[in-house]
Amino acid sequence: MKVKEQLAIQYGVDSILLKKSYLDKLTELLQSDLDFHNQRSNYSSHNLHSFPAKFPPQLPKKFILELTTPQDIVLDPMAGSGTTVLEAFLANRKGIGFDIDPLAIKLAIIKTTIFNRKKLVEYARLIYSKAQNEIEYKSEYLDKVLKSHFDSRTAQFIDYWFLPEVQRELIALLNQIVKIKDEKIRSFFEVIFSSIIITKTGGVSLALDLAHTRPHRAKIIFDKKHKLLFGEEYLDQNKRRDYVTKTFRSPLEEFEKKFHTSINGLLEYDPARIDPEIRFCDSQQLQLPDCSVDLIVTSPPYASNAIDYMRAHKFSLVWLGYQVDNLTLKRKAYIGGELVSNFLFEELPDFSKEKVRLVSGIDRKRGNVLKRYYSEMTRALKEMYRVLRPGKAAIVVVGSSIMRGIDTETHKCLAEIGENLGFIVPRIGVRKLDRNKRMLPAGMTTDLNSQIQQRMHEEYVIGFYKASEPGPRGIL
Ligand SMILES: C[S@@+](CC[C@H](N)C(=O)[O-])C[C@H]1O[C@@H](n2cnc3c(N)ncnc32)[C@H](O)[C@@H]1O
């Protein structure tokens, strides 16, 4: 029996409402190789800035090319660094990217902007030489600027995470960047600036790893010639020396290097391309009309705050004018957050409810955190259903989480929630994560032997299909 007939029986839908060729294609795609290992993912501007749990560009590309045609509308309601939107742009589709993270929005916009390279090179030279001059001859002035630049809480954060000489170089670079009048060009250099701080290994900061929920601070710092700069007291007593040691990197040098590696990937002008729309918007309340989108490709956060975006992003956002306390407040709005008091929970279907019950049985608070996540995802999926055109699909990439020893089986729960909202789920694809490439959540890089850990190194690609009319189980 063909996919269409099987699904018609399974979901009790009139088979006329299912588009055969589209469903066959969707199912085939979900069955195909979705690992994309050994494939270059650093083409175009994809590698301008690292981003936790960014998916490989080949993933959205595959679905965009196969399931849409030029000028169609492709949405990513949790756009992150803009991988889907950039692929939509490259394929001459209209990309729409929403996020609530200020750094994510900035990155996605810059990655899909056409720049005049010659102009950027001129600006880069100017920034570099003027910053170098200030570092060499005006260090007292730079210290003064540093003192007046941050409120006291932000200054404490900066002092804890950045060596004084690094702070001086960073403020010298910023001093030049803020003078740029053209907003897009200024934003481009802010992104380069941010990219030397936010890397898997914490860039020029003292953080050892920004992918983890709680970054650790280096205790021992060497310069490039292996001369000890900082942390003599830890040298002898600390047996785990390698884990707390970092080599000093000059922001000025890193900035120059990063600029040169980034410039080649920038986009060329092509009249067929359609400017994307990228802005702040909560995925639980999409600012889009009903039935207006041809394809959604997205990857929501993990359950239970496994990747804390703001915790990593504030390392550069504090330099770009945000106050550390305000950023901490913003964290509460992220899907997968941990605050549950006064939270509006949704009624969950059976399997998801049972998962919450199991976790709650061990730890009530964690159970509520999981319930919060599934409630937020219910609202996000409901919105995806609303804005999708009938006969079209949403591709949702998720990983599972372990809460109090229980595998949340997020993919199964989200599939169930989606079906409950009227979606048809023809298949859940599986992809193996490339640990060398991804910034993964804490706990995902150790003990590869356990079954649960193995599952944590997989990701699930759920295909949600919206039939021409809501299925009988649909509640919309
Ligand atoms: C896994 S990341 C997306 C990564 C993206 N696929 C990429 O390739 O860069 C999840 C994103 O969801 C965003 N997010 C969290 N809560 C959100 C909300 N309520 N509305 C919109 N975006 C949200 C986070 O800021 C983060 O950028």
Of the candidate ranges 386-390, 395-399, 460-464, 468-472, the one whose mean pLDDT is the lowest: 468-472
255: its two tokens: 């900035």
Q: How far is the CA of 299 from the centre of ligand 1 (A)?
A: 7
Q: Is 80's C-beta closer than 6 angstroms to any atom of ligand 1?
A: yes
Q: Is 55's C-beta closer than 6 angstroms to any atom of ligand 1?
A: yes
Q: With 60 as the cut, is the pLDDT of residue 447 above it?
A: no
Of the candidate ranges 1-15, 377-391, 412-426, the one whose mean pLDDT is the lowest: 1-15
Q: With 90 as the cut, is the pLDDT of residue 324 above it?
A: yes
Pocket test for ligand 1, best of 55, 84, 96, 99 (most atoms within 8 A of CB): 99
Q: How far is the CA of 283 from the centre of ligand 1 (A)?
A: 9
C-alpha span between 256 and 259 (Å, rounded): 5
User: What pLDDT sits at residue 53?
Assistant: 86
Which atom of ligand 1 is least distant from the CA of 98? 21
Of the pLDDT bands very low, low, confident and very high (cuts 50, 70, 90), residue 475 is very low
Of the pLDDT bands very low, low, confident and very high (cuts 50, 70, 90), residue 390 is very high
What integer is the mean pLDDT of 132-136?
96
Q: Is 380's C-beta closer than 6 angstroms to any atom of ligand 1?
A: no
Of the pLDDT bands very low, low, confident and very high (cuts 50, 70, 90), residue 420 is very high
Q: How far is the CA of 76 from the centre of ligand 1 (A)?
A: 9
Q: How far is the CA of 468 from the centre of ligand 1 (A)?
A: 28
Q: Are strands 402-403 and 406-407 parallel, antiparallel or unpaired?
A: antiparallel
Of the pLDDT bands very low, low, confident and very high (cuts 50, 70, 90), residue 246 is confident
What integer is the mean pLDDT of 361-375?
96
Q: Is 373's C-beta closer than 6 angstroms to any atom of ligand 1?
A: no
CATH topology of domain 3-102+277-466: Rossmann fold (3.40.50)
C-alpha span between 6 and 20 (Å, rounded): 11
Of the candidate ranges 17-21, 30-34, 240-244, the one whose mean pLDDT is the lowest: 240-244
pLDDT in tens, 173-231: 999 999 999 999 999 999 999 999 998 888 999 998 776 667 788 888 888 778 888 78
Pocket test for ligand 1, best of 84, 278, 311, 335 (most atoms within 8 A of CB): 335
Q: What sign does the dihedral 210-212-215-221 (CA atoms) show? A: negative
Sheet holding 73-76, edge to edge: 277-280, 94-99, 73-76, 293-298, 388-398, 458-466, 428-432
- Tell me the pTM: 0.92
Q: Is 97's C-beta closer than 6 angstroms to any atom of ligand 1?
A: no
C-alpha 13 chain-centroid distance: 36
Give domain limits for the chain. Answer: 3-102+277-466, 117-263
pLDDT in tens, 143-170: 999 999 999 999 999 999 999 999 999 9
Q: Are strands 293-298 and 73-76 parallel, antiparallel or unpaired?
A: parallel
Please count the other Cβ atoms lying within 10 Å of the Cβ belonging to residue 140: 8
Between 244 and 367, whose confidence is greater?
Answer: 367
Query: What percentage of the chain carries pLDDT values higher than 90?
Result: 70
Q: With 80 as the cut, is the pLDDT of residue 382 above it?
A: yes
pLDDT in tens, 69-114: 999 999 999 999 999 999 999 999 999 999 999 999 999 999 999 9
pLDDT in tens, 36-69: 988 998 999 999 999 988 999 999 999 999 999 9
What integer is the mean pLDDT of 23-32?
96
